[in-house]
Amino acid sequence: MKIVIGQGSCGIAAGANKVYSEIEKEIGERGLQVDVELTGCIGMCFLEPIVDVIDEEGLKTTYVNVTPEMAKEIIEKHILKNQAINEYSIVADDLSILKKQKRVALRNCGLINPENIDEYIQKGGYKAIEKCVKEMSPDEVIEEVKKSGLRGRGGAGFPTWFKWEAARKSSDSIKYIVCNADEGDPGAFMDRSILEGDPHSLIEGMLIGGFAIGAKEGIIYVRAEYPLAILRLKKAIKQAREKGFLGTNIFGEEGFDFDLRIKAGAGAFVCGEETALIASLEGERGMPRLKPPFPAQKGYWGRPTNINNVETLANIPWILEKSGEVFSAMGTEKSKGTKVFALTGKIKKGGLVEVPMGIPLKEIIFDIGGGIINDRKFKAVQMGGPSGGCIPAQLIDTPVDYESITKTGAIMGSGGMVVMDEGTCMVDMARFFLEFTRKESCGKCIHCRIGTKRMLEILTRICEGQGKDGDIELLEELGIKIKEGSLCGLGQTAPNPVLSTIRYFRDEYESHIYHKKCPAKQCISLLTYSILKEKCVGCGLCGRQCPVNAIEGEIKKSHKIDQEKCIKCGKCKDVCKFEAVELM
């Protein structure tokens, strides 16, 4: 009998550590012969903490949203009496979420113990690098990656094989392969999930990359804010060294030496850009550099350097094991394979999903994500992280591939999907994302440093009811100039949330500016609370809850709100049992 508990960051945040402790305590006190293991995030974050009970025959029962009290009951009934607790078990509809996916990068996440290299090996781990070393030449490895059609999963979608071949052809004897695990946008949670749930897939991917380009050293640049990821990476690297997968003469191949080290970064969003990352690695402030030369020609310490993100590298062992043709058979003509997305926002079943390229947005949001919370109307989805664009409801059938998403004004990015419902103000949403990119600007380019600040000032003014004629056109002009005048991808994409919302939701901007109304009723400065005379019974509850005594009226008679005193906190509307408070 074995109990496996999800111990990814999402599970821990939901209380998985307490559940783990309670289970260990109960088993210890009762003297039970039950193995307790941990695993990473399987992607169904909305069900965490998740606990699997696996019997001697391998039959698995999955319990979800487990509390310490539930854990104790699981031990008492399921473990001691062999009575599964159906009301705690995962339902078929939620279980089907995994069946609707095609998991390549996430193939082992939530299924193996990330701190046990033997479980990775049992899943076929390190067979791909062994095949490369014993049966293939570096050029043949690159050709297989080329056949797969794999493109970078961290941003622009540049062909992986091309970057590898450029570094391979360099005559320089010292080369580096770097994993960018520091991407700071919300969508990059999938990278952290792989680091925490299947670190050996990254290590093996970097081994294959090192073999292909001729690098002997790899560096994993990871956010210092990811302590669990760093801990498990350190354990995985140590175990790989002990097994002989890292070090000298790997697999007995004389001259094939490769080792890894971890560099903890400061978590700057701009370091998602290659040259800014290299600057940080060299001890400088993370700021982009002019290209060319490209990193594959002159990167870390002036040496040829290949940089890929976690998801890209995690695909590599699967591709070399199954073949490039199998990977390329999934997806579309120009966007091959699968892509991991982090579903968040107004979605019922938030978490990580991995699907073939080309799948319609509608299928991801409604079939896999379960649709909108409280069955409200879908309004838009923001894709590509803070510098992505917003795709409106009328484009819900858009295929998810690099070209189709780019045409909408959004970007694939690292795979963030923020779902919005009818209650989302698109002007305020654009302001929210621009505020992030403005703060994260390294300041090197004037257009990005000053332009994003000016755009944010205009958006803030509009949301506060101070918008004026010409603001929309000024935002468009500034956005285009920032895209044209910025050196790196952060500045070039920072205006996307604003430009895309103006493109599809211009009427909301006009309503804010010309009518001083927020259609979504979210911008506080543009809201007005009033009491409907025909519904108010004069109970006085709203008046007692008002923190500034802005509500007047006698008992059993209609009340009134003093608009000059009202601070628009909304407490009157929250407590009214007769729906007499109207928000306009």
* 159-163, Cβ contacts within 8 angstroms, sequence gap of 24 or more: 160/308, 160/312, 163/296, 163/306, 163/307, 163/308
CA atoms within 13 A on the CB side of 306: 36
Ordered DSSP codes for 49-96: S-EEEE-TT--EEEE-S--HHHHHHIIIIIIHH----GGGBPPHHHHH
How far apart CA 378 and CA 396 sit, in angstroms, is 9
Place of tokens 């009762």: 30
How far apart CA 126 and CA 230 sit, in angstroms, is 21
Provide the pairing of β-strand 51-54 with 581-583.
unpaired
3-state secondary structure of 4: strand
Q: Closest Cα to residue 136, out of 290, 256, 284?
A: 256
Burial of 573 (0-12, 13-18, 19+ CB in 10 A): middle
How far apart CA 508 and CA 428 sit, in angstroms, is 10
pLDDT value for 186: 46
What single-letter amino acid sits at 359? I
Token representation of residue 549:
């005594």
State the pTM of this model.
0.92
Q: Closest Cα to residue 177, out of 274, 269, 289?
A: 274
pLDDT value for 188: 61
Q: How many other β-carbons are positioned within 10 Å of the β-carbon of residue 277?
A: 28
pLDDT value for 489: 87
Give the containing element (helix H, strand E) for 163: helix 160-169
Beta bridge partners of 353: 341
Token representation of residue 185:
């946008």
Q: Are 201 and 243 in contact (CB under 8 A)?
A: no
Phi, psi (rounded to 5 degrees) for 77:
-95, -50
Residues near 67 by beta carbon (within 8 Å), at least 6 away in sequence = 15, 18, 19, 49
Q: What stretches in the chain show pLDDT beneath 70?
A: 183-188
How far apart CA 506 and CA 519 sit, in angstroms, is 12
DSSP state of 360: B
Place of tokens 């755009």: 455
pLDDT value for 187: 46
How far apart CA 445 and CA 458 sit, in angstroms, is 20
3-state secondary structure of 364: helix
Q: What is the 3-state secondary structure (H, E, C) of 374-424?
A: HHCCEEEEEECHHHCEEEEHHHCCCECCHHHHHHHCCCCCCCEEEEEECCC
How far apart CA 95 and CA 423 sit, in angstroms, is 29
Residues 336-357: b if buried by 16+ CB within 10 A, e if exposed: bbbbbbbbbbbbbbbbbbbbbb
How far apart CA 67 and CA 20 sit, in angstroms, is 10
Residues in the chain: 584
Query: Can you say how many angstroms the Cα of residue 326 is from the centroid of all Cα atoms in its chain?
Result: 26
Q: Are 161 and 198 in contact (CB under 8 A)?
A: no
How far apart CA 415 and CA 353 sit, in angstroms, is 10
Q: Closest Cα to residue 38, out of 76, 65, 11, 56?
A: 11
3-state secondary structure of 583: strand
pLDDT digits (tens, 9 = 90+) for 498-514: 999 999 999 999 999 99
Burial of 518 (0-12, 13-18, 19+ CB in 10 A): buried
Backbone φ/ψ region at 522: left (φ over 0), alpha (ψ -120 to 50), beta: alpha
Q: Are 380 and 392 in contact (CB under 8 A)?
A: yes
Q: Closest Cα to residue 498, out of 448, 446, 438, 429?
A: 429
Give the containing element (helix H, strand E) for 145: helix 138-148
Tabulate helix, strand, coil % of the chain (nearest 5).
Answer: 45, 15, 35
Q: Which domains does the chain have, with CATH numbers?
A: 2-99 (3.40.30.10), 117-328 (3.40.50.11540), 338-421 (3.10.20.600), 426-515 (1.20.1440.230), 528-583 (3.30.70.20)
CA dihedral 474, 480, 484, 486 (to 10 degrees): 70
Q: Closest Cα to residue 324, out of 161, 148, 152?
A: 148
DSSP state of 458: H
Provide the pairing of β-strand 338-345 with 416-421.
parallel
